[in-house]
Structure 1
Amino acid sequence: MNEEEVLAEFRAAGALLEGHFILSSGLHSSRYLQCARVLMDPMRASRLATALAASIPRDLRSQIELVVSPAMGGVIIGHEMGRALGVEAIFVERPTGRFELRRGFEVRPGQKVLLVEDVVTTGLSSREAIEAVEAAGGEVVAAAALVDRSAGAADLGRPFFTLATVTVPTYPADALPPELADIPAVKPGSRKAA
């Protein structure tokens, strides 16, 4: 699956939105990728996860023993990546603002983990989730996401695989261009606006 085919899946699902959005990072953007919409179709989610799994080199893919994703956005794609790789998939949550394992989920000491996200913008959520996995004893050997919004700038400190790169300018709230400042902002993601 090439980048244009991936973006076509987003368009077909009505998941490539235009307007004024506040991203999880707190930055503002004129475009938003609503991954929940693209992943609500189980067959589409499976196709995307299979393509994403195939983008990981075989020798690295064969090391992965567990998929971990951050809740909420990464839960569906994490589950589908587990299916595509033939390993279990769990998720970390932020009940008190920091990612942690809950629900009886465990990571064995030294267990080789793939961290999976839906979209990476700054990489902050991914890095925080990686810290939680490593604090639990796991070894995150790679990270993956459907879409990289960072234009390759997100540094996750390990190999990072994506299906598409979307370059859309982002702005801090105090530096909005006039065309965005004139549109009411919406916060479509899972985190409350700051």
Structure 2
Amino acid sequence: MTTQRNDDVRKRAQRILQGANVLIEGHFDFGNGYHGRTYLNPHMLFCQPSTIWQLAQDLLDVLPYEISTQVQAVVGPATGGALLAHTLAGLLDGRRSLEHPPCMFAPADYDLEEGLRLRSTYRAVLAGRKVLLADDVRNTGKTLSHCAELVRKAGGEVIATTQIYDRMATIVTLDVPNVPLLEYDARDIHTSTTCPLCAARVPLTSF
């Protein structure tokens, strides 16, 4: 796909996200030990199945061919990442011949005791497969890093990561290509102990 075509796809995706009122300003706990002023609210998207289908299609359009043709399974963390990963796996199947093995899907869910985990059924699915990690938003990169470790322990190989929005505030990176649909420069990010909004006693934003 040409650079111009990629640019057109990303501009269309940006219009979709703006129309869905995804960006919220306030004081947010990202759930991974970090706070920030801007939250990209995926729930505004996932209540509209046709919208996430379109964005997943756009993600596959900008994903390099040499990556998309290798993917054998897609993994995403609950909830938004899992919904996106499930859609991506289905779309990848739709692009392949009937003789090609199906693209598998595995969600990583949260357990109060274990934290992020893969259930035994999904661990078995990933053994020996090349995996694309997908999430709705990349904040610090810690969630994708945890997912990559789960995939490795299950015997899979992460070949790339992808997301709808990269906040460009990454603290943890993986040694594989990362392909965002869009980027949002939101590097004003702090640990929960150094957050200036917490110091100013600004309450966390709820929605």
TM (norm. structure 2) is 0.80
Q: 1:44 aligns with which of 43, 51, 65?
A: 51
Residue 202 of structure 2 is matched in structure 1 by 183
- Is the CA contact 1:30–1:180 (under 8 Å) kept in the aligned structure 2? no
- Is the CA contact 2:166–2:184 (under 8 Å) kept in the aligned structure 1? yes
Q: CA RMSD in A?
A: 2.3
Read off the aligned partner of 2:91 and give its amino acid letter.
Answer: A
Q: Which moved more, 1:74-83 or 1:6-15?
A: 6-15
Match status 1:161 vs 2:168: no
Residue 126 of structure 1 is matched in structure 2 by 144
How much does 1:51 deviate? 0.8
- Is the CA contact 1:151–1:166 (under 8 Å) kept in the aligned structure 2? no
SS in 2 for 1:99: strand
The separation in 2 between residues aligned to 1:50 and 1:178, in whole angstroms, is 37
How much does 1:10 deviate? 2.4
Residues 178 and 42 from structure 1, CA distance in 2 versus in 1: closer, same or farther, beyond 3 angstroms?
Answer: closer
Is the radius of gyration larger for structure 1 or structure 2?
A: 2
Residue 171 of structure 1 is matched in structure 2 by 190
How much does 1:61 deviate? 0.8
How much does 1:14 deviate? 2.3
Residues 141 and 178 from structure 1, CA distance in 2 versus in 1: closer, same or farther, beyond 3 angstroms?
Answer: closer
How much does 1:187 deviate? 5.8
Which digits, 9 at most, give the CA deviation of each residue in 1:74-104, with x for residues without a partner? 1111111112211232211231334332272
How many residues align? The count is 188
- Is the CA contact 1:16–1:34 (under 8 Å) kept in the aligned structure 2? yes
SS in 1 for 2:54: helix
Read off the aligned partner of 1:101 and give its amino acid letter.
Answer: L
How much does 1:142 deviate? 0.9
Which digits, 9 at most, give the CA deviation of each residue in 1:45-71, with x for residues without a partner? 011001111211112211111111112
Residues 89 and 45 from structure 1, CA distance in 2 versus in 1: closer, same or farther, beyond 3 angstroms?
Answer: same
Read off the aligned partner of 1:97 and give its amino acid letter.
Answer: E
Residues 7 and 104 from structure 1, CA distance in 2 versus in 1: closer, same or farther, beyond 3 angstroms?
Answer: same
The separation in 2 between residues aligned to 1:162 and 1:104, in whole angstroms, is 29
Identity %: 28
Aligned residue runs from structure 1 range 137-156, under 5 A: 137-151=155-169, 154-156=172-174
TM (norm. structure 1) is 0.85
How much does 1:180 deviate? 8.5
The separation in 2 between residues aligned to 1:178 and 1:46, in whole angstroms, is 36
The separation in 2 between residues aligned to 1:165 and 1:14, in whole angstroms, is 16
Uncovered stretches (5+) of structure 1, i.e. residues with no partner? 189-194
Structure scoring higher RCO (CA < 8 A, sep ≥ 6) equals 1
The separation in 1 between residues aligned to 2:27 and 2:199, in whole angstroms, is 6
How much does 1:154 deviate? 4.5
Match status 1:85 vs 2:92: yes
SS in 1 for 2:121: coil
